[in-house]
Amino acid sequence: MLVDLHVHLRGTLLRDTVILLAKRNNVSIPSSVISAARYGWHDFPSFLKSYDLITSVVKSANDLEQVATSYLQRCSLLGGSYVEFMLSPPDLARTGVPFFDQLRALQAAADRARQEWGVHSCLIATAVRHLGPLAAIEAARMATSIRSNILVGFGLTGDENQYSVGDFAEAFSIARGEGLKATAHAGEHCPAETVIEAIEILNLDRVGHGVRAVESPNVMRQIASSRIPLEVCLSSNVALGLYPTITAHPIGRLANSGCVITLGTDDPSFFDTDLLQEYALARTVGSCLSDYIINKNAIEAAFCDERTKAILTA
Ligand code: HPA
Ligand code: ZN
């Protein structure tokens, strides 16, 4: 039983699906990009560019349902049992798919995956940091405009180097005010102290990545004692050059210092990974982590309701 708590829905797009949707939706993507390994990026800025280009093939609610269903089916084949997808509602709303229709599509995918494959899933609506605080407020307003069983959290993705975390306090306050849980990318590209800043200012329930906390014993201690879980994405961190190899990854040191570790695939198609591989990598790091501990952490940290948690624990 494996759990993916950090996955960008459109980061799961397989090459064949990109080709199919590009044709269906008349989106022109250079074949050199589609055929390049990992879609041809080489650092974080070029990753974000490649991500925007490749994911622009998703245009309709049907596309969204297809992409989500495909990932959930693949997870079931790997032994996955729970997935929390991140998706920014205004992205598709701008191309003419109202948030209500996005939710309906994801609910349909979630219902099918639960009934046919026993895989549960929820949605974290996200704001994109480099689009700025006003766009984040728009995302939070959209996310809180509709009640849905699957919509459980609000998140912040994008380029951590843009804006300060305080600029997003209002968006998170709107989302939390309506009962959504909160997570944000922090301590992936920016130093340890920014993890504490994000936790305190945005009132986070979890941290996306947070691995650079390891650079400050004091920050690591604070995170460990707060019991706020880190969503660690091993392949992503190595692919984006945070660490030269998996053996240099600090997940073991974080775990041994008492930080609550969960795993995510981040953008599996861009980082050439899957859930099984992330669990397998975590097993190689020589720490107190085991699949059992990671799963226990992940189910406790999940944003879904208690009934779903009980099913996942049974
Ligand atoms: N990091 C930050 N923002 C993102 C990512 C990521 O891996 N994928 C999509 N948006
Ligand atoms: Zn991410």
Task: Write down the mean pLDDT value for the chain.
Answer: 97
Confidence of residue 287 (pLDDT cuts 50, 70, 90): confident
Kindly give, in sequence order, each residue whose CB lies less than 8 Å from that of residue 101, ignoring residues fewer than 6 positions away: 61
Query: What distance in Å separates the CA atoms of residue 252 and residue 289, rounded to the nearest whole number?
Result: 8
- Note the pLDDT of residue 149: 94
Q: Does the Cβ of 51 fall within 6 Å of ligand 1?
A: yes
Per-residue exposure over 79-110, b if at least 16 CB sit within 10 Å of its own CB, e if not: ebbbbbbbbbbbbbbeeebebebbbbbbbbbb
Q: What is the pLDDT of residues 159-218, one digit of tens each?
A: 999 999 999 999 999 999 999 999 999 999 999 999 999 999 999 999 999 999 999 999
Ligand 2 centroid distance, CA of 155 (Å): 10
Strand partners, 189: none
Q: What is the pLDDT of residues 38-68, one digit of tens each?
A: 899 999 999 999 999 999 999 999 999 999 9
**Ligand 1 atom nearest to CA at 188:** 1
Closest residue by Cα to residue 54 from 75, 35, 74, 73: 35
| DSSP annotation of 196 | H
221 class by beta-carbon count within 10 Å (0-12 exposed, 13-18 middle, 19+ buried): middle
Task: Name the residue at shortest CA distance from atom 1 of ligand 1.
Answer: 158
- Note the pLDDT of residue 180: 98
pLDDT of 20 strictly over 80: yes
With 0.90 as the threshold, say if the pTM is over it. Answer: yes
Q: Does the Cβ of 266 fall within 6 Å of ligand 1?
A: yes
Ligand 2 centroid distance, CA of 152 (Å): 17
Query: What distance in Å separates the CA atoms of residue 282 and residue 210, rounded to the nearest whole number?
Result: 16
Q: Does the Cβ of 8 fall within 6 Å of ligand 1?
A: yes
Q: Does the Cβ of 11 fall within 6 Å of ligand 1?
A: yes
Q: What is the pLDDT of residues 139-154, one digit of tens each?
A: 999 999 999 999 999 9
pLDDT of 24 strictly over 80: yes
| Residues within 5 A (CB) of ion ligand 2 | 266
Ligand 2 centroid distance, CA of 148 (Å): 23
Q: Of the bound ligands, which one is closest to the alpha carbon of residue 208?
A: 2
From the list 138, 160, 188, 278, the catalytic residue is: 188
- Note the pLDDT of residue 1: 86
CATH architecture of the domain formed by 2-313: Alpha-Beta Barrel (3.20)
3-state DSSP assignment of residue 238: helix
pLDDT of 295 strictly over 80: yes
Cα separations in angstroms, 152 against 182, 183, 201, 228, 297? 9, 11, 20, 17, 18
pLDDT of 268 strictly over 80: yes
